[in-house]
Structure 1
Amino acid sequence: MFEKVIEPRMSETDRAGHINNTVIPVWFESGRDEIFKLFTPDLSADDWKMVIINFHVDFVHQLFYGKPVIVKTWIKEIGNTSLKVYEEIHQEGTLCARGEAVYVNFDLKKQKTERIPEDIRTILSLHLVGNQ
């Protein structure tokens, strides 16, 4: 599992003081940073490999400003050219959101998918759901 702590910003709240629902996908994406670095170590846009093709979010509990959140990211499936992640956001020990996203390893210059390299597959497999 990959884990990241995020401090909510005031600008991420709605009029009721809750974290706005549009922020959650952004936090999930931030939790994927270590996965992105496996495919593009310098995070260069010129060499970017990970293209999102699907995601969904389940909103489970309210989130609030002023309390840190923990984004937890696991690998759910590793295909030939794609991977599925499972994600959760927790605040004060409570599950507040969960989601899944599917990414494809994609060569932007050639405009085609590529097989996920074996060394990256090995690292990803260490983070499979159920391994932690």
Structure 2
Amino acid sequence: MPNDPALKIADTFPFWTEERVRFGDTDRLGHVNNAIYGTYLETARVELMQQLLRGPETYFVLARMSLDYLAEMKELGPIRIGTAITGIGRSSFTTGQGIFQGEMCSATGEGVVVLVDAETRRSTPLPEDVRAALEKLKPKNPGE
């Protein structure tokens, strides 16, 4: 669940993606537009999925996404998106994510990603090597 308190702690995440808040990401009040938070989470998920894919016969699709806004972001510049695998199913996995600007966690999110067979366009079981890679990305205990 995106409101899991562990997702607000940077030490939880084994996988990190760097991104930037750009001027075009902000609204007329100077805040990062709420729709952009989903884009930041997508950037990190896609980076992770690209590392897991093995060929054109399968691909990943996002089946569900939820997002909790915790603090406004106003500053242009670097941010980090942490990702952990919080669940592994037969043909899917769940990501828990946090968006950090400096030490501040501005949002947490959860996404369910499904592996799809390109020919049948139906879900297909996760291969064992993908499962093993996902297992290594489970949340860390803060302070480890």
Task: Please report the TM-score for the alignment, with normalisation by the length of structure 2.
Answer: 0.82
Single out whichever of 120-129 and 29-38 deviates more from structure 2: 29-38
Identity %: 26
**Aligned partner of 2:76: which letter?**
G
Alignment of 1:61-76 (within 5 A): 61-76=71-86
Which of the residues 26, 37, 40 maps onto 1:27?
A: 40
Aligned residues: 129
Structure 1 runs, 4 residues or longer, greater than 6 Å off:
none
Q: What does the per-residue CA deviation read over 1:65-95, in whole Å, with 9 as the maximum and x for residues that have no partner?
A: 4231110010000111010000000112011
In structure 2, stretches of 5+ residues that fail to align are: 1-13
Shift of 1:108: 2.9
- Are the aligned partners of 1:39 and 1:49 in contact in 2 as well (CA < 8 Å)? no
**Greater RCO structure (CA 8 Å; 6+ sep):** 2
Alignment of 1:100-119 (within 5 A): 100-119=110-129
**Aligned partner of 1:2: which letter?**
F
Shift of 1:54: 0.5
1:17 aligns with 2:27: no
Q: In angstroms, what is the RMSD of aligned CA positions?
A: 1.7
Task: Please report the TM-score for the alignment, with normalisation by the length of structure 1.
Answer: 0.89
- Are the aligned partners of 2:22 and 2:77 in contact in 1 as well (CA < 8 Å)? no
Shift of 1:41: 4.9
Question: SS where residue 21 of structure 2 aligns?
Answer: coil
Alignment of 1:73-92 (within 5 A): 73-92=83-102
In structure 1, stretches of 5+ residues that fail to align are: none
